[in-house]
Amino acid sequence: MTRKATKTHEKQIAMEVKNNPKKFWNYVQSKTKARTKVSDLYTGQDQPVTSIDKEKAEVLANFFTSVFTKETEENMPQIDRITDETIDNIMINPNIVFKTLEKLKTSKSPDPDNLHSRVLKELSSAICLPLSIIFNTSIHNGTVPKEWRKASVTAIFKKGDRKSASNYRPISLTCICCKVLETIVRETIIKYMHTNKLFSKKQFGLIQGRSTVLQLIQVIDHWMKILDARGCIDVLYCDFMKAFDKVPHHRLVLKMSMYGFTGKITSWIKAFLLNRKQRVTINGHVMLEGGEQRYSTRIRYRTNPICPVHK
């Protein structure tokens, strides 16, 4: 019976490959990609190695926290507003919550409370009203519940030395209800920025219709024009290491005020960013919770809808 069900499932995936290639490739990767656990890790400068899961969790938690740029409000520069437009509040109606719940992907893992997105999606019509009340209260008071500011972090190996914590990427699971609110806040911010033409025309990526592929096409077209005119081209590529991790939160909030964000929406974003906690899971059973730590916003596509706005 199991073999028959598997065969039926695979046949269905094959039939849908034209309309849903992502589902096909996800299945292929699940069958071909080796699942590797966190190996032994260096614990310090002398590079002694630990194989104890609890100690490895502590090493990773300390590293993920260390890359964050800490900055006090006293060091903030003086900046001028670049627009006369302002946005100070967001009113969330049940219909917006319903539509956002309906878009939840049921293939994702449950959140730290073991609440699955499928439950929220199936109950979307029943819970959209109470959730809208909770969301509006959160925005109005400029507060974010403590449980919404916690993340369960799993380390995924990138490349290089497997014993170095710096070669692991943090993948965070956060509260799904909070991510629904984040999505609504993000869409409001994006709409405001687009309406008032506040995005730089030179920015590509993280904005709909402004992909990095489009950037490459424009750059190559520009280079070809220079070469056709018998000109020379010098190109310098720069990359910021752990750029999303190192965004100082106080400076980010200050920069948002430059674009006209004030009042309750600024207070909410500040509350969302500050005083976060994370717990690192090693090999599926050992967890270590850290106080007043920020989980990595580097994992924007997987867990944090609002994080792309940070750039």
Give the model's pLDDT for residue 110: 83
Query: In angstroms, what is the C-alpha Rg of the chain?
Result: 22
What does pTM read for this prediction?
A: 0.78
The set of residues, in sequence order, having a beta carbon less than 8 Å from that of 56 and lying 6+ positions away, is: 38, 40, 41, 50, 282, 286
Q: How distant is the alpha carbon of residue 307 from its chain centre?
A: 5
Give the model's pLDDT for residue 133: 98
Give the model's pLDDT for residue 224: 96
197: which 2 tokens? 């033409």
Q: Measured between alpha carbons, how far is 67 from 172 in angstroms, rounded to an integer? A: 16
Give me the DSSP letters along 235-249.
------TTTTTT--H
Mean pLDDT by 10 residues, the chain (311 residues): 78 81 78 70 81 86 81 80 93 97 87 88 96 98 92 87 89 92 95 93 85 92 95 90 80 92 94 87 63 39 51 44
134 phi-psi bin (left φ>0, alpha ψ -120 to 50, beta other) = alpha
The answer to whether 255 and 24 are in contact (CB under 8 A) is no
H-state helical runs in 104-211: 117-122, 124-141, 176-195
Neighbours of 67 (CB within 10 A): 16
Instruction: Give the start-to-end residue ranges of the domains of the chain.
Output: 1-33, 38-295
Give the model's pLDDT for residue 36: 62
Q: Measured between alpha carbons, how far is 279 from 65 in angstroms, rounded to an integer? A: 11
Of 128, 122, 172, 125, which is closest to residue 148 (Cα–Cα)? 172
